[in-house]
Amino acid sequence: MTLDARMAVEALRAGVPNGAAVRLMGTEQTAIEHGFEAALAAAWSDSGPARTGIGMAGGFGTGKSHLLGYLAEVARQQGFVVSRVVVSKETPLSHPAHVLAAALRDATLPDRPDDPIAACVAILREKTDAMQAIETAVAAQGAALAPLFAACLFLLRRGATPAETVRRIARLWSGAKVSVPVIRRELTAAGVGRTYPLKALPVAAMTQQLIRFVPLLFRAAGYGGWCILLDEVELIGRYTPLQRALSYAVLAGLLGLHAAGRTPGIVTAYAITDDFVTAVINARQDREKLPERLMLKGRSAEAGMVPQAVRHIEWTVLQSRIAPPTRADLAQCHDRLRDLYRSAYDWPPPPLPPPEPAATRTLRQYIKGWITQWDLLRLGGGAVRLIEGSIATDYREDAALGAAHDDPDSEEDSDQ
């Protein structure tokens, strides 16, 4: 307990809660938690509003990242594979391939520390019912999934398939570039070379195929589905208009807002600042101007998804804000943190005067203030006077933030 408690306190001091801090401190945002649980329960539903993902809004330091971490724990308890994706220069939301790569790279199984895709491939080869489940699911997709996936499943079912080919298939499903001719040669050696018409897929097409296939794989292996948590979505406010428009379309797709493009088995939750609607959507007239930009690029499907994402963000900011802590919330948080600090340092921290809730003071400031006061009392025993400040969100456009090294709409996977 001491190590976990120390790690949790250090993470809370830095303002970046880790898994230990999330588990030990919990959350009081019950409305958002219940909405998320409803989305998990409806992950494989064919229709209905509960199929869509959820958003949460709050200012800097209000606990958005902590709450996402808590929801990750909730999803794992429900048997979901969980991915945490932070929107950044390296992972621009405007590029689906980069978002998928980050989600697959960060994915964690709820019951073991293994690589998720490799672990699921092993389960398919070991359990006949799991293999039958994924083959049935892929067949039900029809033309929505390329023959490449059925071909890979055929090779996995064969006991004579070389181990290196099995590893290639796992890498392919993990988003890596894998030579399709190698898979084609294996099919030919098995006498079914003409059964599966394999062809190279552009990166954008392969991205959409994997987004549809991976949840089926997780479910066949015995997991609840795939939970994708997006943090710092407000960064798209610094993108250029075209990049911002593409980001809205990607967000709408991941949330399942477009009925024709919904992906069963994926539950998405995102965090965004509570001034985003005023400072970005309204100030720049994104709802009115951005669909037209995509139409001019010939991207009518994505243009239709922009207003859906904008409406979802507007609803989130109005109805799904992180509630400010009440006096009772602060008292409970103080007591939990005090117990945590005692376990971390084997030192009895004294109770601090009950704070008065203030609209301008965030939960992060309360927590860091308590930790700082206990630190100084423990190390020096002197009185403490805290000085606080606030950080404003920067929405100045920066083309480099939404750019990517590759263009997912034109690059073809030449290695295939």
Task: For residues 300 and 333, state if they share a domain.
Answer: no
Same domain, 122 and 66: no
What pTM does this model have?
A: 0.85
pLDDT of 413 = 38
Domain identity same for 40 and 10: no
**Within a domain: 184:** yes
Please give the single-letter amino acid code of residue 320: S
> Cβ(85)–Cβ(228) under 8 Å?
yes
User: For residue 345, is it within any domain?
Assistant: yes
Q: Same domain for 71 and 135?
A: no
Domain match, 150 and 207 both: yes
Beta bridge partners, 272, equal 57
**How many CB atoms neighbour CB 251 within 10 A?**
29
- 100 within 8 A of 230, measured Cβ to Cβ: no
Note whether 355 and 372 are same-domain residues.
yes
| pLDDT the model gives residue 363 | 78
Residue 252 pLDDT: 95
Would 283 be classed as within a structural domain? yes
Q: Which residue has the tokens 């009772």?
A: 328
Q: Considering the domain boundaries, does residue 232 fall inside one? A: yes
Q: How far is CA 30 from CA 33, 67, 219, 268, in A?
A: 5, 10, 27, 18
Q: Give pLDDT, residue 355.
A: 72
State the total domains in the chain: 3
**Burial of residue 44 (number of CB atoms within 10 Å: 0-12, 13-18, 19+):** middle
Single residue among 287, 322, 357 that ends a domain in this structure: 322
Are 197 and 281 part of one and the same domain? no
378 neighbors 347 (Cβ within 8 angstroms)? yes
The verdict on 274 and 290 lying in the same domain is yes
| Whether the Cβ atoms of residue 230 and residue 43 lie closer than 8 Å to each other | no
The CATH number assigned to the domain holding 266 equals 3.40.50
At 43 the pLDDT is 92
Among residues 322, 348, 368, the one where a domain terminates is: 322
Residues 86 and 150 grouped into a single domain:
no
Query: Do 231 and 101 share a structural domain?
Result: yes
pLDDT tens-digit profile, the chain (416 residues)? 588 888 888 888 877 777 777 776 777 788 898 999 999 999 998 755 446 799 999 988 788 888 898 899 999 999 999 999 999 999 999 999 999 999 999 999 999 999 999 999 999 999 999 999 999 999 999 888 999 999 999 999 998 889 999 999 999 999 998 888 889 999 998 889 888 988 888 999 999 999 999 999 999 999 999 999 999 999 999 999 999 999 999 999 999 987 666 789 999 999 999 999 999 999 999 999 999 999 999 999 999 999 999 999 999 999 999 877 888 888 888 998 999 999 999 999 999 887 766 666 777 788 888 898 899 889 886 666 666 666 677 888 888 888 765 444 433 333 33
Domain, as residue range, for 311: 29-110+223-322
Q: Is 402 among the domain residues?
A: no
How many residues does the structure list for the chain?
A: 416
Domain contains 415: no
> Which residues, in sequence order, are CB contacts of 379 under 8 Å at separation 6+?
none
Query: Which residues are CB-contacts of 28 (< 8 A; sequence separation ≥ 6)?
Result: 323, 325, 329, 332, 333
pLDDT score at 383: 63
- Helix axis angle for 64-77 and 30-41, nearest 10°, is 40
Q: Is residue 396 situated within a structural domain?
A: no
The Cα angle at residue 150 between residues 144 and 152, in degrees rounded to 5: 130
Asked if 227 and 80 sit in the same domain, the reply is yes
Same domain for 179 and 196: yes
Q: Which of 245, 196, 211 is nearest to 93 (CA)?
A: 245
Question: Could you tell me which residues come within 8 angstroms of residue 142 by beta carbon, excluding any fewer than 6 positions away?
Answer: none
pLDDT at 113: 92
164, 198, 217 - which closes a domain: 217
Is 405 among the domain residues?
no
